[in-house]
Amino acid sequence: MSVIINLERCTGCGQCLDACPFGLLYLLDGRLMVDDGCTLCGACVEVCEYGALSLPATEAGSSEVYRPHGGIWIFAEQRGGRMAPVSLELLGEARRLAARMQVPVAAVLFGHQVQELTAGLIAGGADKVYLVDHPRLADFVEEPYAAALTALARREQPEIILAGATYLGRAFIPRVAALLDTGLTADCTAFDLETETNLLLQTRPAFGGNIMATILTPRSYPQMATVRPRVMKKLALQSDREGTVIPVRLEELEQPFRSRFLETVSEITEAIPLGEAEVIVAGGRGLQDGKNFQLLEELADLLGGAVGATRAAVDAGWISYQHQIGQTGKTVAPRLYFACGISGAAQHLVGMQSSDFIVAINSDPQAPIFQIADIGLVGDMFEIIPALIQQIKASR
């Protein structure tokens, strides 16, 4: 099935050739032709000034795409009975979008014996919580999680599904999108709505973080996206807020799956997890050597914070990956962020630009990091940081 061409109206102007994102349209002896593989995205139809192109009718006799009315869903991620902070961040963003769309917000909670978490989701902005409580969901395994969310989405027909771009979300949400035959935009940093259609405008870094791309999925539902933690702002909890908890039973969870959970192995982590630190002292290529991270560790200890790093510092072997901040590392939003010897590449800025207050220390006055810094110190960090450490000690 492909776009319909009315040859009587077509003038062979060629405007639609450039509009096709897949390059499937071409002219043959002045006549417009279309190759196999047309996705019916409608881009060519929108640019044709002569009405020569149209989309095929659906079974209902209309070219309009069916639009569900199940509102906005967020996947409420929990591990070991503890709610992931990104779940409340997603609820805050979902509420903002729902106010414009005038639709309800629902949280989908998977697990076993996690009923007590539903109150926090309602207080955080959910109008209702779909609670799927089952022993097979006690620990995360991709297959049952994907089967459960797919079955529930087919039954309730949400318009939008948002999830965290965490290890868990990145592992199974793409599988859900494939099973639902819809699109998925990963690692989003912002959302908006198209005024006329209420389509979700999904913005994410592209081409290595050098540009920001805005993506729409106009002809498939639900619209799905994952969001980096610490990017969206959660709402203040309202303990007296009312909502509905809907227990859900799914036959799909009774089928045999190819994989099963064995055990969780605890990872050795820093005293203050990077994603939860109120103060972060981060270093980049300007540190020149891994041993110089000791200087940042001393400053971080004095401030009760954690140490972060750029990808360049991690790739150089100066510090472990668990400290990496940026597009390929963690996203953080501390109250105070020290950027020491960090030039400010776009890939790093994506992971820390939501910090409340940024102090940049760099010897290059033209470094891009100064464009987003609240305070910029131009000079030798090996003189500035020791002086800062001494001043802090003296003040105490």
Name the binding residues for FAD. Answer: 285, 310-311, 324-328, 341-348, 362
| 182: its two tokens | 């819809």
- What pairs with residue 204 in β-bridges? 213
Sort 302 into a burial class: Cβ within 10 Å, 0-12 / 13-18 / 19+.
middle
**Per the annotation, where are the binding residues?**
285, 310-311, 324-328, 341-348, 362
Phi and psi angles of residue 36, each rounded to the nearest 5 degrees, phi first: -65, 150
Place of tokens 């998977």: 110
- What's the rounded Cα separation, in Å, for the pair 381 and 340? 7
